[in-house]
Structure 1
Amino acid sequence: MRLKHSFALLLIVSLTLSVSVPIFYGGLESFRVLGRLPLWGIALLLGMVLLGWRLNAARLQLLGGSLGLRLSGRQALSTVVATEFASAATPAGSGGPPTLVFLLTEKGLSTGRSAGMLAVDALADLVFFGTAIPIAILLFLSRSGVSHPLLFGGLLLTLILAGLALLWLVVHKHRSILLWLGNLARRIRFLARFRFRMARMVVHFRQAVALLIRMPLHRLLALYLFTAGHWLLRYSVLAVLLWLLKESVPWAYLFLVQSILLFGGQILLLPGGGGGVEIGFGALLSTYLNPATSALTLIVWRFCTFYWYLLVGAPVFILQTGRAARRLLAPAG
């Protein structure tokens, strides 16, 4: 059986591991801890996910408008939800990019411009994490919390300003970046194996920069704010969950843990990194949480950031893609 025809089996295996690993960690005791989590807390967490999707949809509307594509709020949101499902349901999120490009072309955008929008989307994410991760590392090493309103506001302002500065550098110094990447590829023999992938990345990078250059400053600001809002909400689900359970874990550490886990999940064979993410979660948070609490936290967190994507996204994906669904979900290879 070819790999591209077995994504459903891979998804089933991933879900099985994703549920069984936390139960192995905490046993039946984890279900007793469930009583500490109020029902309104679950609604709050899912509301954060939905708001994050809406911010992502606003980013899509902003980029589409820059290319002459007018998307309604409903169209943009359904596109985001369908793309999130495709990403969650396939190994390394391989189904997400082709789904987004396909849906944009179905709405009247050319394939080249759709790929350009995808490149800008990825570049904006890269800029956010390129600024947020160093800030989180410094915050964690300093052992500072973010509970004080002034510190929290200062942290957000620093993140926004640093992200905008990096975005400005990418737009105005893109030629230097391309030359640096070319020199790096020539000097490091290992990278020669990936020269075709790097060439494709360069093409996408140029597409993204070409689109960004045409955007006025206020649109660049809105793009980064939507990007930062989307990821901060997604990465704060775990922190809010632990707050509801009255557990104290530094926010900066939780941000770094999720960055490691979700990046690691992207390189695993199974959709959503099933099994691997759960094992890493238990290892990285064992110093803060007992096994039962860790297991419950893991199940609820994964429900909000993985299972929910599949449950809500599946019908939206099918309605949006129709007969192309199987082809879009098929992993490359």
Structure 2
Amino acid sequence: MKGYINKETIKKGLELSLVVSILALGGLILFTIDKHTIGKVLSINIYYLILAVVITLLMWTVGGLRIKLVTDAVGESISLLEAVKIFLLGAFVSNVTPFASGGGPAQIFLLHKRDRISVGKSTTIIVVQFALRLLFFGVTTPILFLFFKEFINPGFIPTQIFNIAVLVAAGITLIMIYFIWQPKQVKSVVDKLRDIPLLKPLLKYQRVRSLIEKFYQEVEEFHDSLWQLTKYKKYSLIWAALCTLIYWGLFFTIAPIILLGLGAKPFFLRSFIVQTIFYFILPYIPTPGGSGVAELGFASLFSSFVPSGLVGLLSIVWRFLTFYLVLGLGGIILLKILAKSAVGSRG
């Protein structure tokens, strides 16, 4: 991965992500712990925690299966195990880069370099997944706001700030869906940028012009692959969309299962609703992996229906399963890839 995602960048992002996350969780424990919290910890039902771990593993498998399905649809082939590794690597890099921006490029690079899939097809594979996620949240979030508004309470987050965050996320989502569906419009935007006087001096360099031409070629290949996929591989897309539904369904089940383990009501419907809103906004948070905001935002949304003494504890267990486990396994996968790359370069 050398030359594509800098090791130092990943290291700094990981350190910042961990520090901010731990500080946020520490603050939650400090302000939410009460005399009942220790009792809940001692009486926790371990079987529900095991179930939550199993659901997490199933979730990763479904994430990998979706990559494999889309890869098969573009005429390439990878094993399910390789697809799960790519999924975890992308999740790891997303969690240590601002706006979760590094995950997709890392997955594209891995598909291209390790699995010998063209950049255009690799981009299609990852962008299709990204588009399915956008569509899932783009469709479900407005429905939940329209029909389940009474279940949405931002907790200690000011309502005005919460509503602005949702509107900004909705606007960005619509723009991204448009450019994914009409990728040639990206070329039009780049062409307009080339006319800006401040940018014109850059075009004097052959390297810059070559990169622009290469970008245009990849956009064309991506557009062709996406068109072929939507026209001739509809069933593959349907299965991939189903995997997206299953993935997020499993993901949103983790918090209620933890609540059951803590001896509290699971609030399955309400948990699903608030997490959908939460993850609609979270990708647009600038901290690595949404650290800090993720813990505090999750606790704020759940504080409206979960006992205050359990909110901090719930956030810790939830964050461990959905964030720290991914960091651990994804980091191991990344280290192995870097080690193999180092051996290969010496050879």
When normalised by structure 2's length, the TM-score is 0.69
**1:131 paired to 2:117:** no
Report the more deviating stretch, 77-86 or 264-273. 264-273
Equivalent residue, structure 2, for 1:14 = 20
Between 123-132 and 100-109, report the one with greater CA deviation: 123-132
1:192 alignment partner in structure 2: none
Please name the residue that 1:120 is paired with: 128
Compared with structure 1, are the counterparts of its residues 228 and 246 closer, same or farther at alpha carbon in structure 2 (3 Å cutoff)? same
Q: 1:263 to 1:128 in 2, by over 3 A?
A: closer
Partner residue of 2:239?
222
8 Å contact kept, 2:40–2:263: no
Q: What percent of counterpart residues are identical?
A: 26
Deviation per CA, 1:196-222: give whole Å up to 9, x if none.
Answer: xxx99xx59846742432443322221
Match of 1:234 in 2: 251
1:255 — aligned with what? 272
Q: Deviations over 1:171-193 (max 9, x none)?
A: 9xx56x989xx9xxx9xxxxxxx
CA RMSD of aligned residues (A): 3.5
CA offset digits 1:283-306 (Å, max 9, x no partner): 222221222111111111111111
Partner of 1:78: 85
1:298 paired with 2:315, answer yes
Residue 97 of structure 1 corresponds to 104
Task: Check the 8 A contact 2:56/2:322 in 1, yes or no.
Answer: yes
Alignment of 1:283 with 2:300, yes or no, is yes
Match of 1:308 in 2: 325
CA gap 1:276/1:142 in 2 versus in 1, 3 angstroms: closer
Whether the aligned pair in 2 keeps the contact of 1:56 and 1:230 (CA below 8 Å) is: yes
- Name which of 43, 47, 53 aligns with 2:54: 47
Counterpart residue identity of residue 47, structure 2 = W
Aligned in 2, Cα 1:14/1:208: closer, same or farther, shift over 3 Å? Answer: farther
Question: Shift of the alpha carbon at 1:321?
Answer: 4.4
Equivalences for residues 130-149 of structure 1 within 5 A: 130-138=138-146, 140-141=148-149
Amino acid at match of 1:294: V
Give 5+ residue unaligned stretches, structure 1. Answer: 144-169, 187-198, 326-333
Q: Tell me which structure has the larger Cα radius of gyration.
A: 2
How far has the Cα of 1:313 moved from its partner? Answer: 1.8
Cα distance, 1:141 vs structure 2: 4.2
Q: 1:245 aligns with which of 247, 250, 262?
A: 262
Kindly provide the amino acid, as one letter, of the partner of residue 112 in structure 1: G
Range that drifts further, 246-255 or 117-126:
246-255
1:39 partner letter: I
Residue 318 (1) aligns with residue 303 (2)? no
SS at match of 1:131: helix
Q: Is the 8 A contact 1:21 1:275 kept in 2?
A: no
TM-score (norm 1): 0.72
Cα pair distance change 1:31/1:222, threshold 3 Å = same
